[in-house]
Amino acid sequence: MSDFIWVYVILMVGACLQSVIGFGLGLLCAPVLYWLKPELVPGPMILNALLITALLSFRHRGQIDVRSTSISIAGGTLGVLLAGSALLVVSPEYYQLLLGLTIMAAVMLSVIGVTPRLTALNNLIASALSGFMGTTTSAGGAPMGLLYQRQDQQKIKANLSAFFVYINLFGITVLWATGRVDSSDFTLFLQCIPAILMGWGMSHFVNRSLNNQYVRYLILIVAMLSGLALVVLHG
C-alpha cells in the first residue's frame, strides 16, 4: 500500500510537469517507477501519458499548428515502427545509452546558445527520436521539447500534446502487437487515473506563476535529467 502511495505522488508531480511544459510525465516518472513498481513501465506509463496528452490537446486545441503537427506525426510514425523492430532484435541497453548521450549533448548546446530551429527537417528528426524513445522507454519527450524550447508556452503545450496523443496511441498498439502489453497493463493504468487527474488539476495553479523563460529552463532541466537517467540506467 505504501508503495502505491509513492506511485501516486510521483504520477501527480509528473502529470503536473507535463501540463506545465508540454512533456515530462514519462521522463520524470518512468526511471523512478521502474525501480519502485517496474510493472508500470512501459505499458501503463504510455497509457497514463495518452490520458494527460489528450486532456492537454483538448485544453489547448486552438493553438495547434496542423502543418507542423502533421510533420511530427510522420516522423513519430517512423520512430515507433523502428522501436517495434528494435524491441525484437536489439538489447535496450545499447540504444538507451546512445540516446541518453545524444540528449545530454543537445541540452549542453542549448545552454551555450545553440538551439535547433523549428524547420520541417528538424521536426521530422526530433519526432522520430521521440517516437522511438517513447515506445521503448515510456519517456520520449526530450527531443521534441528541445526543438520547441524557444516557442510560446501555449504553442509548446498544444503541438507537443497533439503529437504525443498520436504517438502514445500508436506506441501502445505496437506494444500490444508485439506482446509487450496485455490486459494487466490496462488494469494498472485504471488504478493510476486519479493521480493523473489530480496532477492535471494542480497545473492550473502552477501555470499562473510561470512565463516563457521559466518554461524553457524547465524544459532544459527535465531533458538533461532524462539523458542522465538513460545513461545511468541503461544497463
Instruction: List, for residues 34-58, the tens digit of each pLDDT value.
Output: 778 889 988 999 899 999 999 999 9
Please write the tens of the pLDDT for every residue from 140-185.
Answer: 888 898 899 989 888 999 999 999 999 889 889 888 988 889 999 9
Burial degree of 62 (CB within 10 A; 0-12, 13-18, 19+): exposed
* 93 vs 68, higher pLDDT: 68
The whole-angstrom separation of Cα 170 and Cα 165 is 9
Percentage of the chain beyond pLDDT 90 is 43
Whether the full predicted model's pTM is greater than 0.75, yes or no, is: yes
Domain range for 181 is 2-232
Q: Which of 28, 40, 58, 66 lies closest to 229 in space, CA to CA?
A: 28
Contact 53, 164 (CB under 8 A): yes
Over 90: is that where the pLDDT of 216 sits?
A: no
pLDDT of 197: 97
* Helix, strand, coil percent values for the chain (each to nearest 5): 85, 0, 15
160, 223 contact by CB (below 8 A): no
Res 1 pLDDT > 60: no
Query: At 41, phi and psi to the nearest 5?
Result: -120, 130
Counting the structural domains of the chain, the total is 1
Higher per-residue pLDDT: 220 or 192? 192
